[in-house]
């Protein structure tokens, strides 16, 4: 498809006709002989004398060629372009951060493996359907469910934060989910220290979102313990997140009836979610955690930015080249005609 980048330039097309109409024709003086008996001569010849100037005229084809060159120059100034079919792509208008607790308590093997349970139940029948199922380490169970979750996030930017005594960025906001998955797989319990720093994890997520220009910013915070080592109070951190437009979904992994650091602080996680207009969940097994992830899109629907691009290639050099060749041809023709007259 051909389009003009500056179609308004075409208003200059009738300009030569306006000039010919509004501006008087050029008059050229001719050499003359002064005669003392001029009046008698013209009366005897029976002619009427005219002015000592003439209006230069051009042949019709020279005029038409000139107009053609003008049209080509104006067309080049309007910048004709060859425009390709639209190239459309979509990108998610949501950035998402996973903050995963890897404190010492995540080493507990009390996370129900429902997938194995269902498989064993199908193989052995109703009697003892769950006998062969073994509980998973909490972090291992979370990793399996997160892997399924990442497979459904194509086109979105995700970041991974791990926290224990301190919070660390395992992967900044990226669309390379395969690399993010490998970094998650390499994460082990205790790498960030034995304690739980919820507030620091939220604060680090806020700093990660500073590089984000999208409207929808979602933090999924998974923890199985109470905050014991944060430099920033979790509730204050949640308020700052709310002020920055960050929504937090909190997921309790641990046992609310546990002892010490192994007891999940439901009240704090609920308060964090409430401050940011988020949601609190409790997940004690893989099936419950899968249901949590499945409901996230309902809580914060994924927004899509659709963008398109058309490749534009300028064709202005074609009419310019045509006009230049025509003018050059005329100049060569006139030079040759003048040369013939001189030699004849």
Rounded to whole angstroms, how far apart are CA atoms 114 and 291? Answer: 12
CATH number at residue 240: 3.40.50.410
Asked whether residue 212 falls in the same domain as residue 315, the answer is no
Asked whether residue 224 falls in the same domain as residue 336, the answer is no
Asked whether residue 47 falls in the same domain as residue 21, the answer is yes
Per-residue pLDDT, 296: 73
Asked whether residue 217 falls in the same domain as residue 316, the answer is no
Q: Which residues make Cβ contacts (< 8 Å) with residue 293, sequence separation at least 6?
A: 145, 148, 149
Rounded to whole angstroms, how far apart are CA atoms 209 and 192? Answer: 21
Structural domain for 216, as ranges: 90-306
> Across the strands, what pairs with 88?
308
Asked whether residue 164 falls in the same domain as residue 279, the answer is yes
Asked whether residue 184 falls in the same domain as residue 286, the answer is yes
Asked whether residue 121 falls in the same domain as residue 10, the answer is no
Residue length, the chain? 344
Asked whether residue 198 falls in the same domain as residue 293, the answer is yes
Asked whether residue 214 falls in the same domain as residue 261, the answer is yes
pTM of the model: 0.60
263 and 256 in contact (C-beta within 8 Å)?
yes
Asked whether residue 144 falls in the same domain as residue 224, the answer is yes
Per-residue pLDDT, 203: 93
Asked whether residue 241 falls in the same domain as residue 197, the answer is yes
- What torsion do the CA atoms of 118, 123, 129, 132 make, to the nearest 10 degrees? -90
Rounded to whole angstroms, how far apart are CA atoms 179 and 163? Answer: 19
Instruction: Match 């008087």 to its residue by tokens.
Output: 24
Question: What DSSP line would sit under 173-205, residue for residue?
Answer: EES-HHHHHHHHHT--TTTT-SS--HHHHHHHH
Asked whether residue 51 falls in the same domain as residue 97, the answer is no
Cα end-to-end span (Å), the chain: 54
Q: Count structural domains, the chain.
A: 2
pLDDT in tens, the chain (344 residues): 888 888 898 898 888 888 877 876 666 666 666 667 767 777 777 777 666 545 556 677 877 888 889 999 999 999 888 888 777 655 566 788 999 999 888 888 877 776 554 444 433 344 444 444 577 788 888 888 888 888 877 777 899 999 988 999 999 988 888 999 999 999 998 888 888 888 999 999 999 998 877 778 889 999 886 787 788 889 999 999 999 989 999 998 866 666 655 677 888 899 999 999 988 988 877 787 888 887 776 765 556 555 667 788 888 889 899 999 998 988 888 888 888 877 76
């Amino acid at each position: 498809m051909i389009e003009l980048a500056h179609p308004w330039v075409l208003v200059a097309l009738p300009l030569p006709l306006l000039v010919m109409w509004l501006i008087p024709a050029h008059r050229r003086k001719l050499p003359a002989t002064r005669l003392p008996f001029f009046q008698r001569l013209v009366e005897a010849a029976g002619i009427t004398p005219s002015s000592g100037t003439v209006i230069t005229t051009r042949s019709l084809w020279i005029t038409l060629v000139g107009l053609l060159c003008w049209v080509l120059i104006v067309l080049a100034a309007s910048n004709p372009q060859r425009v390709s079919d639209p190239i459309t792509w979509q990108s998610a208008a949501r950035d998402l951060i996973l903050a995963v607790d890897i404190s010492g308590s995540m080493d507990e093997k009390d996370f129900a493996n429902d997938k194995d349970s269902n498989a064993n139940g199908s193989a052995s029948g109703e009697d003892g359907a769950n006998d062969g199922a073994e509980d998973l380490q909490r972090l291992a169970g979370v990793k399996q469910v997160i892997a399924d979750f990442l497979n459904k996030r194509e086109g979105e930017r995700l970041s991974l934060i791990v926290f224990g005594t301190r919070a660390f960025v395992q992967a900044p906001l990226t669309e390379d989910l395969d690399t993010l998955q490998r970094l998650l797989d390499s994460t082990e319990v205790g790498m960030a220290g034995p304690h739980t720093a919820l507030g620091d994890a939220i604060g680090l997520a806020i700093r990660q979102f500073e590089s984000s220009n999208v409207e929808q910013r979602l933090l999924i915070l998974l923890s199985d313990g109470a905050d014991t080592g944060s430099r920033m109070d979790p509730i204050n951190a949640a308020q700052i997140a709310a002020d920055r437009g960050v929504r937090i979904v909190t997921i309790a992994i641990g046992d609310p009836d546990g002892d010490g650091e192994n007891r999940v602080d439901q009240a704090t996680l609920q308060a964090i979610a409430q401050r940011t207009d988020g949601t609190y969940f409790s997940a004690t097994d893989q099936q419950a955690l899968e249901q949590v992830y499945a409901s996230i899109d309902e809580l914060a629907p994924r927004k899509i930015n659709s963008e398109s691009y058309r490749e534009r290639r300028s064709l202005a050099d074609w009419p310019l080249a045509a006009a230049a060749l025509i003018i050059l041809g005329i100049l060569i023709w006139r030079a040759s005609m003048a040369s013939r007259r001189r030699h004849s």
